Structure 1
Amino acid sequence: MSARERLQHPAAWWLWGLGLATAASRTTNPMVLLLIIGVCILVVSERRDPSAPNPLMAFVVIGAMVVMFRLVLTVILGNGIRGETVLFTLPRIPLPEWASFLRIGGRVSLESLLYALYDALRLAAILACIGAANALASPRRLLRYLPATLYDVGTAIVVGLTFAPQLLSDARAVRSARALRGHDGRGIRELARLAVPVLEAAFARSLGLAASMESRGYGRAVRTTPRGRRTASVLAVIGTLGVLAGLYGLLDSSVGGVLGLPLLVIGVVVAGASLAIGASRDGRSGHRRDPWTWTETLTVICGAVPGGVLVVASAQGWTGVVPLPRAEPPPLPVLTVVAVLVAALPAWFTPRPRRALA
């Protein structure tokens, strides 16, 4: 297999996706968010392994459902935005005095709908970024590069992600078999009849997987000292708190990003020390590791560019990054558009999966 036919390192794709997700979390401009979703679709269509499933469209559909659900809730319950452009008025249901901060029905303004649309579209773009990373790099491939401390947790997550789609396939197969026998009912009773054979098949697969993993040494115990366990646990808790505080500071534009980046860096370093201590007690060998070349480095940079630009733009209050919900189209910051387009470059310079060459 040539260098242009190999699969790219999965960590590079996930870092690229996280960089785009960070950019999406810092803006509510609908044009920028739609451009981020378009970049995700473009890169996945060009560089996805055709032998693996494509979960991106499922994430896009979920994002569209989130947008619609948010708009419906805004129409019925409102969101606290009092706009001047009233589109229509619904019959209002009176509420007791203790629930005066809520409303059911009443005036629905264009500004309130735009605010809900912008905010929901941001979540949809973040979901698209995660779906793109999932489509470009399977979690099963990423499992090989987890530290030894997290290997058992990662194994459980990957097994869950692998078996969840299988449950849907089993449900469709059982329903088709029942339809061939003349049982084509619907409702709660039919769902109960489907659940028993589906859960039975899942239980049988779990037992087979457990026996297979035990025969390969997954049930072995790692010898640790009480002092080492306490040190690793304390560092893990401190690192996790630092990472959460740093991410909150970076992603929440209302608190600014002054302390977010330092806290995030400190949390990552402390959490890394905890993982290193745990990994030193549980050595693991690697087999056929994916190489890390200039394409992986450039892919991570392409994902970090929009994330960095949007973090700076939101912190400095650039015009159009967080637009006000108004009737006229929001201004489009050109530099943010260029930064997002940079994230589309991996669709051309990264290695193409081998089966996509035909």
Structure 2
Amino acid sequence: MRSCGQSCRGDGARCQRSGTRQASASDPTPLPPKPRAPLHPGAWWLWALALGTAATRTTNPLLLALLIATSAYVVATCRQNTPWSRSYNAFVKLALAVILIRLTFAILLGSPIPGTHTLLALPEIPLPDWAQGIRIGGRVHAEGIVFALYDALRLATLLICVGAANALANPTRLLKCLPGALYEMGVAVVVALTFAPNLIADVQRLRAARRLRGRPDNGIRGLVQVGLPVLEGALERSVALAAAMDARGYGRTTDVPPAVRRTTTALTLGGLLGVCAGTYGVLTAEGGTYGLPVLLTGLTGALIGLRLGGRRATRTRYRPDPWDARAWLVTASGAAVAALLFTAAATNPTALEPGVIPLTAPTLPLWPAAAILLGLLPAAIVPTPKEPS
């Protein structure tokens, strides 16, 4: 601050000559705004799984493309600059590979859909009588290719939605939020997830060191000479991890009555079986009547079993992730998309599943498309993380 050459009072009064306000020791220093807590990772998974469930109710390529665009926009807007956030691109490549493989099988092995529009005729390999119904080569019809494309695009959309959850949710924080009954499994998953990256880093470090010393790092000899230090480092990390877990009381449990243990096991296993059967019923057209009740019953039983099983674990969470209003809104937006797509599939199935016999161009139904746009709500309520300065 420029000085006017005169002595001024240090009480924050204005300078008599320059008219500027002098800094005062009593003026409070403005504190930087407190950053908001990140969104609960479970909310991202529930949102993404709801979008994937909505994708299973339609084969309309326009609606599936809209679901992909919705997940891509939310990922581009809300993901952080972290290693796991780059997994979305890998899931997109996997989805493209699924589409390519499905179309290749439809061309080479044929399709169960009969057709009248022949695209090309491949040489057909004759098969024995016991392989009736299977062919290799032959005529390739447009109807079969379109049917395979619709089916592959639905699976690709489901994979991309799962990739969005992986890119948005912190896996370490997600495992930390597991209930007490799954504490041991969560720790095992954390150890397994951290083993591969450490192993790759050790291999790269040792190969770079060998190249700097002028020693070979390829071939059988290089592999053996690099592999032994890598295994030695992995053993040392395992021993250090076991010592750290033992020092922190890992595996310590409390005694519960035998009746509670048996009830917990029955509820958990029965609930998981009900979830599997209910999910199959929801995803198939034949089980539309019993799928949802069985799924809800199994989910309730599994949650009660996990709640009872959590009594054995005596541990506390450091800085637990809050489930706030934003988490409820994100979860509700995905659930609304899934519920509205289920309703549309029941009321207007022809719009969500365009026919291939005869071939017809798919149309975009308005209100199912508007329902999918509800999935964009996380981009508006979850702030974009800013880079640290």
Change (3 A) 1:99 1:210: same
Offset, 1:223: 2.8
Cα deviation, residue 3, structure 1: 6.8
Q: Secondary structure at the match of 1:87?
A: strand
| Distance in 2, Cα, partners of 1:185 & 1:337 | 54
Question: Which shows bigger deviation, 318-327 or 242-251?
Answer: 318-327
Residue 344 (structure 1) aligned with residue 376 (structure 2): yes
Aligned sequence identity (%) = 45
TM-score, reference length from structure 1: 0.89
Aligned-residue offset at 1:300: 0.8
The alpha carbon displacement at 1:347 in A equals 0.9
Deviations 1:77-119 (A, max 9, x none): 1231222111111111111100112111111111111111111
RMSD after superposition: 2.7
- The aligned amino acid for 1:95 is L
Corresponding residue SS for 1:105: strand
Match of 2:297 in 1: 266
Instruction: For residue 26 of structure 1, give the secondary structure of its aligned residue in structure 2.
Output: coil
Measure, in 2, the Cα distance between the counterparts of 1:26 and 1:198: 48
Q: Which runs of 5+ in 2 are unaligned?
A: 1-31
Name the structure 1 match of 2:84: 53
Unaligned runs of 5+ in 1: none
Which one of 272, 295, 307 corresponds to residue 276 of structure 1?
A: 307
Q: d(CA) in 2 for partners of 1:153 and 1:136? A: 22
Q: Give yes or no for contact 1:3–1:351 (8 Å, CA) kept in 2.
A: no
Q: Distance in 2 between matches of 1:68 and 1:314?
A: 27
1:313 aligned partner: 344
Determine helix, strand or coil for the equivalent of 2:138: strand
Q: Per-residue displacement from partner, 1:13-68 (whole Å, max 9, x unpaired)?
A: 11111111111111111222122122222111111121343211111111111111
> Alignment partner of 2:352: what SS?
coil
Aligned residue in 2 for 1:213? 245
Deviation at 1:6, TM superposition (A): 2.7
1:293 counterpart residue number: 324
Cα shift at 1:195: 6.1
1:229 aligned residue = 261
Given the alignment, which residue of 137, 141, 152 partners 1:105?
Answer: 137
Task: Tell me what 2:28 maps to.
Answer: none
Counterpart pick for 1:323 among 354, 378, 384: 354
Q: Which residue of 2 is the match for residue 84 of structure 1?
A: 116
CA distance in 2 between counterparts of 1:261 and 1:189 reads 58
**Is residue 253–residue 312 contact of structure 2 (8 Å, CA) maintained in 1?**
no
Alignment-derived partner of residue 66 in structure 2: 35
CA distance in 1, matches of 2:247, 2:51: 41
Q: Identify the residue that residue 74 of structure 1 maps to in structure 2.
A: 106
**CA–CA distance in structure 2, aligned partners of residues 197 and 127 of structure 1:** 37
Q: Distance in 1 between matches of 2:369 and 2:224?
A: 50
Q: Which has the higher contact order (CA 8 A, sep 6+)?
A: 1
Shift in Å, 1:179: 6.4
8 A Cα contact 2:254 2:311, kept in partner: no
The amino acid that maps onto 1:145 is: C
Aligned to 1:25: 56
- Greater C-alpha radius of gyration: 2
| CA distance in 1 between partners of 2:226 and 2:55 (Å) | 40
Distance 1:199 1:59 in 2: 30
d(CA) in 2 for partners of 1:119 and 1:89? 23
Provide the rounded CA distance (Å) in 2 between the counterparts of 1:123 and 1:193. 43
Separation in structure 1 between the aligned mates of residue 289 and residue 40 of structure 2, nearest angstrom: 32
Q: Find out whether 1:65 has 2:97 as its counterpart.
A: yes
**One-letter code aligned to 1:155:** V
Answer yes or no: is 1:114 the counterpart of 2:158. Answer: no
Q: For the structure 1 residues 31 and 297, does the alpha-carbon distance in structure 2 shift closer, same or farther, using more than 3 Å as the test?
A: same
The alignment covers a number of residue pairs equal to: 355
What secondary structure, in the 3-state scheme, does the structure 2 residue paired with 1:258 have?
Answer: coil
Q: Distance in 2 between matches of 1:114 and 1:171?
A: 45
Q: Matched residue of 1:344: which SS?
A: helix
